[in-house]
Amino acid sequence: MTLQILLAISAALFALGLAAVLSRSNAVMILIGIELMLGAANLNFIAFWRFSDNPADLTGILFAIFSIAVAAAEAAVGLAIIILAHRNLRSVEADDASQLKG
């Protein structure tokens, strides 16, 4: 078990999230991809904390806790926007939201 393995797992998870964001047109799927990428970032924080020379600092732990809180806020706002778009456009496809006026 080395740091490389954890970083490679995290990179693979981030790439999967990016693939979901770029290749799907449904707004809910784009949010799912963003959640996967946030999880990959948190995995990196925890991995670097676990392998750090001074784990008693808790830097990676605290970063991960704040990152999870911000991810929860992001999910709430993103899904409210999706519900609003569905009410106005009758669609959750990202391609349909092509105008700046509501």
Site residues for another protein, 48-87, by CB under 8 A, read 49-53, 55-56, 58, 60-62, 64-66, 68-77, 79-84, 86
Query: How far apart are CB 99 and another protein at their closest, in Å?
Result: 14
Nearest to 94 by CA among 17, 3, 2, 24: 24
Supply 58's token pair. Answer: 């808790």
Binding to another protein, residues 16-55 (CB under 8 A): 16-26, 28-29, 31-33, 35-36, 39, 42-43, 46-47, 49-53, 55
CA angle 86, 25, 79 (to 5 degrees): 40
Query: How far apart are CB 81 and another protein at their closest, in Å?
Result: 6
Query: How far apart are CB 35 and another protein at their closest, in Å?
Result: 6
CA dist., res. 102 & res. 100, Å (int): 7
The site for another protein, by CB under 8 A, has a size of 73
CA dist., res. 74 & res. 83, Å (int): 14
